[in-house]
Chains A and B, each alone.
Chain A
């Protein structure tokens, strides 16, 4: 860490910036790091980049704003994020590294122009029309909607239809993320699709952090497009099932059963948007609307602080650096956070448990020697596979909670040991 004296010359690494009211967003596109600084901080950076010393830069600031800047702290913070360094340190390559995830699918062949056409107003308006028509069909015939308890218990061709269902579910998921990638490409932002995890669930993820450099309208579109893709998937499936119910088309029975089961997946993804304790697409839209820089982490810390205060525990996260306006949003969002927790429990009871129980019930019938709906082949292959996916998620979740509790107990123990020690050293808590 360099100490900056008034005579110091500072090397400013290449950055892009965008003004947003009284703050400026700085982006280091090579390292994929983005920070927000007060607008007047940009004057300091530009003065340093022009070759002025730290002392001269501070004087220029004083003349313009009639206030003394805490330039030392500001520069140290920027250095930590890798935006500046002393010339010698930058030459030596001592800039903080940022670990890049390995993204497999970038779809380099899709040009920004083609992407812009795919998310143009006429296309979006047409998608909206499809959704309105589908909504009217659902009102007309609510029977088109799947019932979680039996939609996946196909009475015929169980194994084949379950494999087909998993294939379509994965395809739909991929199209949802592809929508985000296309919107990011249309905005001219690098993006890629990869695999990640949220809680215990394996997820497909689109990383488009550089969207921070784009105006609000393009960010809204990049976040909302996933729900448009899910809405269109829902609409097309509803058209098919509704027409079959009406007798307008007469597909084989298994095709209607499969379409009804596949319809569960975009509907589940739309409901999933209400889980405000996760970084869902709607979460990013809310964070964008209220100009929050890191709403989820700030909300987590806020709730942790509230909890610590209730327990009169001294472990409080310092949130004094957050502007008062943003703090108000965080307090308000913490209510949504609880609503999201509640919604996920309701979803569990109304959707996941019936699905899970449907399989378990057939398994119990088998164990008790009763007639089951499944053939032994069905049981041996797909029933067990789906059981593993659902049960595996549950197991991982429980294991995570157990390990978390164990780590907290260990941390508490090592804290007690530190407090009892005659010479308290600042110990790292593993």
Chain B
């Protein structure tokens, strides 16, 4: 029996701190 996986991809959110 061949198992077919479904993997959720992570959200892509770049972030930069609003310092210092």
Residues of A near any B CB (own CB < 8 A): 25, 33-38, 40-41, 44, 65, 67-71, 73-74, 77-78, 81, 148, 152, 169-170, 173, 176-177, 180, 195-196, 198, 201-209, 211-212, 223, 226, 264-265, 268-269, 272, 278-279, 281, 284, 287, 293-297, 321, 351-352, 355, 390
Residues on A with C-beta less than 8 A from B17 are 173, 198, 201-203, 269, 272
- Determine if A65 and B2 form an interchain contact, defined as CB atoms under 8 angstroms apart: yes
Known: A68-B2, A69-B2, A70-B3. A203 touches B8 (CB 8 A): no
A65 to B4 CA separation, bound complex (whole angstroms)? 13
Taking a contact as CB atoms closer than 8 A, the residue among A68, A74, A207, A390 that contacts B11 in the complex is A207
Closest-by-CB residue of A relative to B11 is A209
Of B14, B18, B19, which contacts A206 at CB under 8 A?
B14
Complex CA gap A148/B1 in Å reads 61
Residues in chain A near residue B3, CB distance under 8 A: 70, 73-74
Name, among B1, B2, B8, B20, the residue most crowded by chain A CB atoms within 10 Å (CB to CB).
B20
A357 to chain B, nearest CB (A): 13
**What are the residues of chain A within 8 A of B16 when measuring CB–CB?**
173, 176-177, 203-204, 226, 269, 272
- Least Cβ distance of A259 to chain B in Å? 16
Q: Interface on B for A, CB 8 Å cutoff?
A: 1-20
Supply 16 further A-B pairs (C-beta < 8 A) apart from A38-B4, A173-B16.
A35-B8, A37-B5, A74-B4, A78-B6, A148-B20, A177-B15, A207-B13, A209-B9, A209-B13, A223-B14, A226-B14, A268-B20, A279-B10, A281-B14, A284-B12, A352-B20
Nearest residue (CB) in A for B12 is: A209
Min Cβ gap A157→B in Å is 20
Complex Cα spacing A171 to B10, Å: 28
What 5 pairs across the A-B complex have the smallest Cβ distances?
A: A77-B6, A203-B15, A294-B10, A74-B4, A34-B9
B4, B5, B12, B18: the one contacting A204 at CB < 8 Å is B18
A173 touches B18 (CB 8 A): yes
- The distance in angstroms between the C-alpha atoms of A78 and B4, with both chains bound, is 10
